[in-house]
Amino acid sequence: MLKIKDLQKNFGSLRALDRVSLEVEGDSIFGLIGPNGSGKTTLFNVVSGFYEKDGGEILFKGERVDGLTPDGIARKGLCRTFQIAKAPEKLTVLENMMLAAKEQRGENPFSALFTRRRTARVERENLDRAMELLEVLQLVDLKNEYAGDLSGGQKKLLSLGRVFMLQPDMILLDEPTAGVNPTLTMQLMKAIKELQQREHKSVFIIEHSMKVISSICDKVYVLNFGKKMAEGTPAEIQKNEKVLEAYLGGA
């Protein structure tokens, strides 16, 4: 589904990504772990088009996507969330969900004024879907609150909801559980897993907690100093001594 070949990204003389190659398969959850500053978020930023790469190739569904604009990449069906959850301050939770919906009409002034009936119909359909997702994410009661007023964890839930509204083929999740309490973390993971299984999407996830990774990921990739350190199933990774030393602090 997503194929990264020899990807490079430098910040000055720092090699943030040093010839990273990996492949994420369809209908699976792929984990990316590594110590702080190992290049995980940089990798996401390059893949999603927010940073320019310095070398290598990115193929999505067999097509080159490096060099496209962030919105162009999102329209190809590759969508990301941010480590610090974004939430437009003066848009309500439900508006956020509607904002993200994939099929929309009335997004330009002309169609907004002159095809109101069709717009309204599409909006109603999206509204139903938004409410369903909010139920899964347990945000229904907050639907008319401003997103800017939500707690950090709720914002994270909301960004998940937005991504699922968009119905991309692949989702890049940047630490969806950072700063979220353990109970909510487990809920989030459950929600991700549930949604993934229901919609058969691929999920590419950055995560710190080994527990989280091993409970939902099919495959894990370990990054250290911008380079590949290991790759394998969660069980294999947990036994890998190099990883244990660098990442889990030795034992």
Partner 1 sequence: MVGIYGLLAMSLNFQVGFAGLINFGQVAFFCIGAYTSSLLATKVGIPLPFCFAGGMVISGLFGYLMSIPTRSLKSDYWAIATLATAEVIRLIALNEGWLTGGPFGVMTIPQPFQFLFSRDSYPLFYLVLVLICVLLIYFALSLLSDSPFGRDVKAIRDDEELCLSLGKNTRQIKLQAMVVAGMVGGLAGALFAHYITFISPENFRPIETFLMWAMIIVGGRGNHAGAILGAVIIQLFNVSTRFIGEYVSLSPDVMASLRMLIIGLLIILFISYRPEGLIKEKKKVYYLKRRDGE
Integer Cα distance of 87 and 89 in angstroms: 6
| Closer Cβ to partner 1, 195 or 246, answer by number | 195
- What is the distance between the alpha carbons of residues 20 and 16, in angstroms, rounded to a whole number? 10
Q: Is the dihedral of CA 105, 83, 128, 217 positive or negative?
A: positive
Footprint on residues 30-59 left by partner 1 (CB under 8 A): 48, 50
- Report the nearest approach of partner 1 to the CB of residue 121 (Å): 12
Our finding on whether 231 is near partner 1 (CB under 8 A) is no
Assess 103 for contact with partner 1 (CB under 8 A). no
Of residues 92, 209, 214, 238, which one binds partner 1 by CB under 8 A?
Answer: 92
Looking at residue 92, the DSSP 8-state letter turns out to be B
The one among 2, 74, 203, 213 contacting partner 1 by CB under 8 A: 74
Strands of the 63-64 sheet, one edge to the other: 14-24, 2-11, 55-60, 63-64
CA 176 to mean position of chain CA atoms: 8
DSSP helix/strand/coil, 174: strand
The residue among 91 and 248 lying less far from partner 1, judged by its C-beta, is 91
Which span sits near partner 1 by CB under 8 A: 66-74, 185-193, 208-216, 235-243?
66-74
Q: Contact between 71 and partner 1 (CB under 8 A)?
A: yes
d(CA 63, CA 43): 18
Complex with partner 1: residue 116 or 200, whichever CB lies closer: 116
* Min separation Cβ 222 and partner 1, Å: 26
